[in-house]
Every structure is written in structure tokens, then in C-alpha cells.
Structure 1
Amino acid sequence: MPDDAAARAAAEARVAAEEESAFSHPAVDPDATAAYGDDPDQVIDFYAPRVAVSPGGGLAPLVVVLHGGAWRAPYDRRHVTPFVDFLARRGFAVANVEYRRGGVSLPGEGAGGGGAVDGVGAGGVGAGGLGAGGVGSVAGRWPETFDDVAAAVDALPGLVREHLPQADPRRMVVTGHSAGGHLALWAAARHLLPADAAWRIDRPAPLRGVVALAPIADFTVADKLDVCGSACRQLLGGDEGFAARVPYADPALLLPTGIATTLVQGRTDTVVPQAVAEAYADAAAKAGEVVGLTLLEDVGHFPLIDPAADACAVVAEEIAQLAW
């Protein structure tokens, strides 16, 4: 076998092993669930901290989790519940947000990327899902995906008081993985949206910070690299929508946010390559803002949300540095 073929085979085996590990954990049910709208996907699951680590037993920081899955319908919030539980066991109060995703099959595409039960399980998301174009559903809905993230974040302080009294919404950090990392960065930049954007707010969101995990953070670079099978272009409605809507959706164009931001990225990630995170960090620097970029050696896409991986502990530490 030629050297390049052997290297590819080794890389594919590594990705498969990382994916299998990340999706081998059973889903974890929430302590409470609340709706922030009328659609079945407009819900937030709440997880109380499993240990009290706040000084004097006070309220815990609130971590808002936005799941990935290329904004596509087959990948819902259940697949990140082991990660959410991992954070709760570190003493965080956690809100796991669901949002509307794309659900219309593309012409000529098969179902693809299946195999998961309740969104969790080996093969549920990965080389046959996140990393492939033929996943059987369009990425996201315009404008519903953005409607939901904005509405959920706005509703959280009130919902937390009722359903997660252990949480301190004044110490709120938003994190997200992959497409969810994009949404986390976008949620922190709503005060920079064009004046005619329905989601624009007058001042920065009351966040302690953002920790974006392998985020689809720069749409121009992600589109050039065909990340997740043209997911960015699909999210914005195809070729026409991409050009017109990218100023409303691309975090790399919504800088500086004035909110502490850290990106965590595996160097061997082939689903959302390192170049995407680096492009966002470069754009932030040009805008006069310092964005943290933690690059993890020999780490791909999935270990960042895998409780069994060392990378997941790094993620929790990055969140703790902003939250406590």
C-alpha cells in the first residue's frame, strides 16, 4: 500500500474510533424540560449540578449547550447528553437547547448516516453523517434555526428561575459543538447584526463568555472546504440565499463582540478542519479582538464531546475559566 494510501487509511480508522467512542455512551435524561415556543423542537432540557463546587454552596454557573449535527434534522440534542451530564458532574448547571433543523430530503440523496437510537449510538453522527454530503436532509431552516436560538437565549433567565433554581444566570457561558459552535458564536454577536435583522439586540448579551468547539465559525472558508456537504450554503438557502444572508449569519463577519471567546479545536479534525477556526481567530484579530484558540494535538472532531476523552476535560476547564 503506498504511503499516502496508508496514511489515509490510518486517518479514517482514527476518525471511526473517535466517533465510536463518543457515541457509545447512553443518553442521559434531564431533570426538567421547558418549552420556549410552540414547536415541538422549541424546548430546553435542564440538568442540575451533580456536585456542589461553588464557594459556600452558592448557585452554580449556567452552561448553555447548543448541539451540532450540521443543522440537520437527524441530529438532535440527545446525542450531546453524555457531554451535558459530564459538565453537570463538574458542578455546572446546564441547559441543553433544541432548535429547528433542516428536514427536507435533497433530490437524489439517500437516508445516509443513520444507525443511532434517540440520536445516540455508534454511526449516529460522523463519517457517515456530519462529514458526508449525502445525509438525506437539508442543513438548517432559514430563518427558523436562528429564530429559535435567539428566542431560547432570551427566554433562559426566566426559565432557569423556574426549572433550574441551582443556576446563576448572571454567570452564563454558551458552548456548542460544530454547527452548535457556530450558533454559540452567533448568539454572542447579535448586537452586531445588520440593523434590519429581527434577531438584533441593542447591547451585548449578558454572557460571561463563549467556548466554541470545532465551530463552523467562518462561512467563507467552510464553504470553500465543503464542510459537512455544503451545509453553510444549504443553511442560508442555496446559492442565492448564501450571498444575501451571509452578513446575518456568519460569525466571522460579526466582530468584535466584546465577549470573552475561546475556540477549542482538534488538529486532526477532518469534519470541520482547523483552518475554519483559525480563519475566525484571524478575523477577530483584524477587528481588534483577542480570541483564544486552544489546539489539541492528535484530536479529531468527536473527542471534544466524548466524556471518555481527555479533550473533553480540556473543554470543561476552558468553560470553568470563563464561568467561575
Structure 2
Amino acid sequence: MLTKEKSFTVFKEKYGAEKYQEGDLYLPNLTARAIICLFHGGYWRMPYSREQLDSVAEALVTQGFVVWNIEYRRVGSKGGGWPGTFDDSIQALNYLQKVKRDHPELELLDIVLMGHSAGGHLALWCGKPNQASSQYALKIKPNVVIGLAPIANLEVAFDAQSGNQAVLNLMQGAPCDLHECYSG
């Protein structure tokens, strides 16, 4: 347990064995309304982290939402980029199955995916029906997906050379070479 506040509790959870496969699970002390999964931005790069969204997570949990503030391997960390970042996104969401087993009162809650910028891309990508990465299939069904200023199209962002070639660094190749990965 990281902290105990008057209206919520925060737990640091590991959804995988790698260093950045973790997140902060915020549980409200009142009846939960929905589960919101947060993906931070930062062009999928180190040193940007989930801490960017701590204040958002705290604001949401005080309104009665369960919040899963997700970290993932980023470009510049071992396993970051394609496919690791995408694998982590799916693994983090699938971890909600364990959370719901541990907290049965959360079983019937809607699941909302929300991300900012590059995190918006990951939320949108995970929100596609029957989404799978190179190794993992999404086992939960999000009810709502929200992209806050998302990078919604990797090919467009690649062509624009957004973020000093952030998409090239993420995907480790151009759309013409990795069309299936870009369109997934």
C-alpha cells in the first residue's frame, strides 16, 4: 500500500515481471461507479511516466471511480517499443481480471479506457474489438474509450515526424515495412 487517505486507498500492483509492468490501483472508500484505466503520454518514451496522471487519478477516485493508472515499458527502457509497449497495454488491462477476483464488488462495473497523447493512442488501440498484440489477446471488454489529444493515426504521425520521429522509434520501422503492425 502506498498511501491511505480519507476517501481512497492506493495500491502499487505488478501485472508482469518486467521493471515497468506495474501501476497504481486507486480504490475509493465509497461505492465505486466504474473502473477507469489511465494511459499516460510522453511519445511512448522514457522518462515520461504514469506520475503525469497522478492528480487526474486522485480527482477521479474522489468522485467514486476505481482508477488503474498504468505504467508500461517505453522506448529507452528494456522491452519498450513494438511489440513490448503494446503487450504491456494488453497485459495491464487483463490484470483487471485479478483485481475483480480480489474485489468481487467491482465485478459488474463498466471499464473505461482513457489516455492522453501517446497514451490516448494506446487506449484507442486497446479499445478496438478483438484486439491482440504479438503475444496477448485482450480478455476484458471496455465499455468506453476516451482519447485526450490522442495520436490517433500512427501513419499520419510518422509522416509528420511528430515528436522527433517518436513513431519510428516506437515501431522500429516505417509503415511501408511494417504495414500490419501500423494498421493493427
Do they superpose with TM above 0.5? yes
**Identity percentage of aligned residues:** 33
Amino acid at match of 2:169: Q
Alpha carbons of structure 1 residues 165 and 76: separation in structure 2 relative to 1, 3 Å: farther
Contact 1:190 1:200 survives alignment (8 Å): no
Match for residue 88 of structure 1?
A: 61
Determine whether 1:211 maps to 2:146.
yes
Amino acid at match of 1:210: V
The CA distance in 2 between the partners of 1:94 and 1:148, in whole Å, is: 17
Q: Deviations over 1:92-113 (max 9, x none)?
A: 1100111101117xxxxxxxxx
SS in 1 for 2:162: coil
Match for residue 245 of structure 1?
A: 178
The CA distance in 1 between the partners of 2:12 and 2:23, in whole Å, is: 6
Alpha carbons of structure 1 residues 95 and 39: separation in structure 2 relative to 1, 3 Å: same
Cα distance, 1:207 vs structure 2: 1.3
Q: Deviations over 1:174-204 (max 9, x none)?
A: 101100000001111262569xx43345xx8
Match for residue 64 of structure 1?
A: 37
Cα distance, 1:246 vs structure 2: 4.2
* Of 135, 149, 168, the match for 1:198: 135
Unpaired runs of 5+ residues, structure 2, are: 1-7
Superposed CA RMSD in Å reads 2.6
* Of 52, 76, 81, the match for 1:103: 76
Alpha carbons of structure 1 residues 236 and 99: separation in structure 2 relative to 1, 3 Å: same
Match for residue 182 of structure 1?
A: 121
Determine whether 1:44 maps to 2:23.
yes
Match for residue 48 of structure 2?
A: 75
Following superposition of structure 1 onto structure 2, how do residues 82-161 of structure 1 map, counting pairs within 5 Å?
82-103=55-76, 140-161=80-101
Higher strand share: 2
The CA distance in 2 between the partners of 1:189 and 1:96, in whole Å, is: 20
Q: How many residues align?
A: 175
The CA distance in 2 between the partners of 1:148 and 1:84, in whole Å, is: 20
Match for residue 31 of structure 1?
A: 10
Amino acid at match of 1:78: E
Alpha carbons of structure 1 residues 190 and 146: separation in structure 2 relative to 1, 3 Å: farther
The CA distance in 2 between the partners of 1:220 and 1:209, in whole Å, is: 24
Alpha carbons of structure 1 residues 179 and 151: separation in structure 2 relative to 1, 3 Å: same
Contact 2:9 2:28 survives alignment (8 Å): no
SS in 2 for 1:184: helix
Match for residue 130 of structure 1?
A: none
Cα distance, 1:65 vs structure 2: 0.6
> TM-score by structure 1 length?
0.49
Alpha carbons of structure 1 residues 192 and 101: separation in structure 2 relative to 1, 3 Å: closer
Match for residue 222 of structure 1?
A: 157
Alpha carbons of structure 1 residues 246 and 153: separation in structure 2 relative to 1, 3 Å: farther
Match for residue 171 of structure 1?
A: 110
The CA distance in 2 between the partners of 1:67 and 1:167, in whole Å, is: 23
